[in-house]
Amino acid sequence: MALPSALDPQQAWARFEPDARQPWTLALAGHLYRRAAFGASWPQLQRALAEGPQKTLDGLLRPAADVAAFNRQLDEYETPPGDDRSATELRAWWLQRMLRTPHPLLEKLTLFWHGHCAADNAKAESAPAMQHYLQGLRRHALGDFRALLAGLVREAAMFASHQAKANRKIQPSPGLARWLLEAHLETAAEPDVREAARAFTGWFIYADGLRYIEREHDAGSKQVLGRTGNFDGDDIARLVLEQPATAATVVRKLYRWLISESAEPEAALLAPLVMAYAKNYDTFALVETMLRSNLFFSPSAVRQRVKSPVEYALGLVQGLELSIATQPLGDALAGLGQSLLHPPTVKGWSGGRNWLNPATVAGRLRLADALLRGGPYIENLNLAAIAQKHGQPAASFFAKLYLQDETTPGHEPDARRAAYATAAQPEFQLA
């Protein structure tokens, strides 16, 4: 879908205030929870409908609950005594966190950064290193991107994922340097990559983590991105952040994540956001502008993304208001192409239309069917009781809950079949 050609950036990014022409609806509340969270329960949708978009966003951006305490507790769950963590358990805890957190937007952005700065446990082969990496992403997910990047260039999981476990003076490993340049600038020239790799020499991964060996650092002068100096890895991150392309790249990527992946936005549309972001890399402010905007609540954004497997499955689960076994769910999601902590390449998941092929669609439908039967995921699932609790007939409840479809009369009185019929709709594949 093309964007309206005369989209005025100022109008597009201005706060959405519903009026008679563009009313606040259940459909828009569902849209907001699909993008700023991992879907919604019926009470959440009802409260959002009553409170309006901006007040709902206040709660999604700055939840009243003690988020830090929640995350501290989950950090503890993730770290069992005896240090026998596995990446599969870590993945399962992350899915629990996404489902239970009082601040789902923070996890949504953590997932975004996991795709952008994609570390891979298959290379790191260390659950503690992956946990440390993930905690770093979460700490800065809605904060200062400069701090996020500064942390990442000292992250063992990142060095390992970029085949840079040993960065010797005489044999620099170009992986991490190449990623920093390629992921943020439009192009990365080989000489820049080579010189930047020299800046990262001295870092080595040992059994207990990343260590800096002074005598292995190449302290000579390097030329990177038109600048000359005795740079180290931290400096390379700083130089990347000074490039105007970096802010533009992150804003464009976040636009695809939060607003639309069906149309490439004009540079002029993003310009005001890029300018603001380049000043202090305040991710929170950028996300807030996007989510509160007219554009976000317009037809140019609604259902203009394909759900990732995580979004597809958690969207179903959130509506059920029940706890779920996330270890088998993590495996199922891996089968659908989204193995958390194990992205296909350091470029993360390409997503969009790539999510859907006949095997992954069949897999999604089979997963929905299994989830809605309880399967290995949910004990004592009673779908009819959920509809009943909210005073809704089962036949039409799930279409309202999952698709915000208030017109389907619902011929199917069986709650499970009614719920599955909703999840099987092509529309439900879209976020």
Partner 1 sequence: MLALAASAPRLLTRSALALTPGKDETILVVLQLSGGNDGLNTVIPFADDLYHQSRPTLRQVAAQAQRINDQLAFHPRMEGFARLHAEGQLAIVQGVGHAKSDRNHPGALHMWHTAEPQPPGPPTGWLGRAADQLWNPDSANLPAAFIGAIPQPFASNAERVIVPSLRTSRDLVCPPEEPLAAGPGAALLDHARQATAAAQATSRRIEAVRRAGAGDYPQYRLADELRTIAQLIRADAGIRIYFTELGGGGIGGFDNHAGQLGNHCSLLEQLSASIAAFARDLQRDQLFDRVALLTFSEFGRTLHENGRRGTGHGSAQPVFVAGGRVQGGLVGVHPSLADLDQDAQKVHTDFRRVYATLLDRWLGLDSRVVLGAPYAPVAFLRA
Q: Which residues bind partner 1 (CB under 8 A)?
A: 1, 163, 175, 262, 303-306, 335-337, 344-347, 350, 352-363, 365-366, 368-369, 405, 408, 417, 420-421, 424-427, 429-430
In terms of CB distance, is 69 or 362 closer to partner 1? 362
Beta strands in 58-131 (DSSP E): none
> Which of the 8 DSSP states describes residue 417?
H
Dump strand ranges (E) for 222-279: 222-224, 227-229
Please, which residue, 230 or 345, has the CB nearer to partner 1? 345
Beta bridge partners of 332: none
Helix (H, G, I), strand (E, B) or coil at 210: strand
Nearest distance, CB of residue 353 and partner 1, angstroms: 4
Pick between residue 35 and residue 292 the one whose CB is nearest to partner 1: 35
How many angstroms separate the CA atoms of 240 and 266, rounded? 23
Q: Smallest gap, in angstroms, from Cβ of residue 178 to partner 1?
A: 11
- Rounded to a whole number of angstroms, the minimum distance from the CB of residue 304 to partner 1 is 6
Quote the least distance from Cβ 369 to partner 1, whole Å: 4
User: Residue 150 or residue 424: which is nearer to partner 1 going by CB?
Assistant: 424
Q: List beta partners, residue 166.
A: 204
Supply the minimum distance, in Å, between the C-beta of residue 411 and partner 1.
9
Least gap, CB of 52 to partner 1 (angstroms): 26
Distance from C-alpha of 187 to C-alpha of 338, rounded to nearest angstrom: 27
Between CA 16 and CA 19 the distance in angstroms is 9
Our CB check for partner 1 shows the closer of 165 and 198 to be 165
Q: Which amino acid is at 405?
A: D
CA distances from 157 to 123, 165, 181 (A): 8, 9, 18
Distances (CA, A) of 179 to 187, 193, 352: 11, 9, 22
User: Could you give the C-alpha distances from 404 to 131, 179, 183, in angstroms and in order?
Assistant: 36, 41, 37
Tally of CB atoms within 10 A around 77: 11
Toward partner 1, which CB reaches closer, 1 or 65?
A: 1
Least distance (Å) from partner 1 to the CB of residue 336?
Answer: 7
Looking at beta carbons only, is 272 or 374 nearer to partner 1? Answer: 374
- DSSP letter string, 315-344: HHHHTTT----HHHHHHHHHHTT--TT--S
Between 228 and 354, name the residue whose CB sits nearer to partner 1.
354
By CB neighbour count within 10 A (0-12 exposed, 13-18 middle, 19+ buried), where does 67 fall?
middle
- Is residue 3 within 8 Å of 300, Cβ to Cβ? yes
Distance between CA atoms of residues 35 and 15, nearest Å: 17
Residue 99: CB minimum distance to partner 1, A: 23
Minimum separation from the CB atom of position 151 to partner 1 (A): 23
Nearer to partner 1, 101 or 360 (CB): 360
